[in-house]
Structure 1
């Protein structure tokens, strides 16, 4: 998957929240196509001061909430690899399938993996040329437990992007938050390569990722909530539920507090947002990835900034000073302590997420096999 975020490359802070709705374009085997009707809306509610709008001026809820967090559309570029349209993405794929280096590989599995890597880089480069900001390219989930394999793939992608004249400053690499992925993130960040850790379902994963220096950590709020509604026995989720808290939102708050308590550079991203109230409850986080239906609902709702929601950030750096952590939570995380602390929810959701992405990669490679070689080869 290749993604683009509309944070100006010249910005001094990586992925700092901006007072506008972001553009997040993705390349994936997942079904669906999306484009936001308004690609960039000026937020008239200034961060931390919703009353900044002129008296009597009405704004949309989307305008208002975008003053506190970057609201990112959850998008995909390809809706069906079996029904290619004549687009730049198709050209990028055809170019990958005609690549001589890939064609020279004897093993079909290696050849198709090579095509997939080059196709992602081609599409990511196309996005980088069209959209300001950073492009986040997903690393093959089959490498999730192979630190050196992840690092090698990132360097391969960096080389491919370099051939397209895309600077490393424009790039992020999306890595599963296994221990091996977190370790790869640490090593890559030490080289100045920015990483984006995904499939985070536990405090231990997020804390270890922040300690590793990951640029972005992505928590799936709704998936954690869903697990808690249908299961029990996870200490972290059970504790939140006993306090009457939403387990997904509670994890975000805890991780946000941890990052700011320790002064880590990591930016926090919330995904799997289910409704507008989730957005309101997450205000102040760096990024919120929201589905089209929620964005449309927010945009269609005209509101007075002084109305009941108040449009105030629920997450502020100050909570890092007041949040109570146990001694066990403030340790230097390693592979053993991470494995012991993850809990059944994180283990199950991580395994499920990886399986889904592995299946998608295989499906795409199978489809590449059906259309290879292209007519001009």
Structure 2
């Protein structure tokens, strides 16, 4: 019998949620996605010392700052990933630009230019942007330039709708982090069917399919394979190596749970958004407001951690 991972691959595009290149080789996903936290962790592993060393030597020879060297290191990882996966690699804009439209646009263009200088064209890259109002505005401009965007840190329907209205290529609702908030604040135990993160992704998926929105839904941040199984059929799912391994070792029937035809039959109410409406609806959702802010803080912290790692390496090499 096919493993649950193999069954899942027949109905959902699998994306590896890791900076660990060897794990990606092991599970043969279509795409790969990273973030500052994952890159910081991977950069400290001996297996990727050569990628770090190249960035350090480049920085020394070109008299570059630690932030510029950290940017190059991120591109080094991304380029390596494009050699392994046949599809897209997601690279994240600096989290401290999450409320800066022009800064986000400039950084995204710089990332694409850095990849294209290496012969990695924009059709292989997704630019990850936090799903703030400013992020959605930046994505609209970037999409018009042919730069596809992965809108990350999505915790609510209103964020997903704003991103789809902007024409974003893909959204990443964070299933596990939504569950974490509800467990902490409500003290309940959830099954896969009652999991608030699962229900959030299903709501977004149903909305998009009901109204013919082309933006891809990619569930992310899973805590267990039950959440993944409950979203079988979603456009894409980005999954950690640990959970990919569990799915690969699991057998039994895996039924499709999300389907465009079924989704379109039960459309949620249509939202009409401007900035003040977006901000008010998001503000009314305590979970989404808290988790979005927390996510930006964590990514900004780990980006700073990556820059500090580079600074230490520079001092050691001096």
Both proteins in one fold, TM over 0.5: yes
- Give the conservation status (yes or no) of the 8 Å contact 2:122–2:147: yes
1:131–1:245 distance in 2 versus 1, CA, 3 Å: closer
The 5-angstrom pairing of residues 100-139 of structure 1 reads: 100=62, 102=64, 112-139=66-93
The 5-angstrom pairing of residues 1-377 of structure 1 reads: 58-77=1-20, 79=41, 81=43, 84-85=46-47, 87-98=49-60, 100=62, 102=64, 112-231=66-185, 245-303=194-252, 310-326=253-269, 330-342=270-282, 343-372=285-314, 375=317
| 1:286-305 C-alpha deviation (Å, 9 max, x unpaired) | 122223333222222344xx
Higher mean C-alpha deviation, range 64-73 or range 147-156: 64-73
In angstroms, what is the RMSD of aligned CA positions?
A: 2.3
- Give the conservation status (yes or no) of the 8 Å contact 1:88–1:126: no
Q: Secondary structure at the match of 1:231?
A: helix
Relative to the length of structure 2, the TM-score reads 0.84
Q: Distance in 1 between matches of 2:126 and 2:278?
A: 24
1:279–1:139 distance in 2 versus 1, CA, 3 Å: same
- Give the conservation status (yes or no) of the 8 Å contact 1:200–1:217: yes
| 1:10-48 C-alpha deviation (Å, 9 max, x unpaired) | xxxxxxxxxxxxxxxxxxxxxxxxxxxxxxxxxxxxxxx
Cα displacement (A) at 1:130 = 4.3
Q: Distance in 1 between matches of 2:116 and 2:271?
A: 39
| 1:74-101 C-alpha deviation (Å, 9 max, x unpaired) | 3223646456556442244224423526
- Give the conservation status (yes or no) of the 8 Å contact 2:161–2:271: no
The structure whose residues are more often helix, as a share, is 2
Please, which runs of 5 or more residues in structure 2 have no aligned partner? Answer: 21-39
Report which of the two structures shows the higher radius of gyration computed on alpha carbons: 1
Please, which runs of 5 or more residues in structure 1 have no aligned partner? Answer: 1-57, 104-111, 233-240, 304-309
- Give the conservation status (yes or no) of the 8 Å contact 2:43–2:52: no
Relative to the length of structure 1, the TM-score reads 0.72
1:137–1:83 distance in 2 versus 1, CA, 3 Å: closer
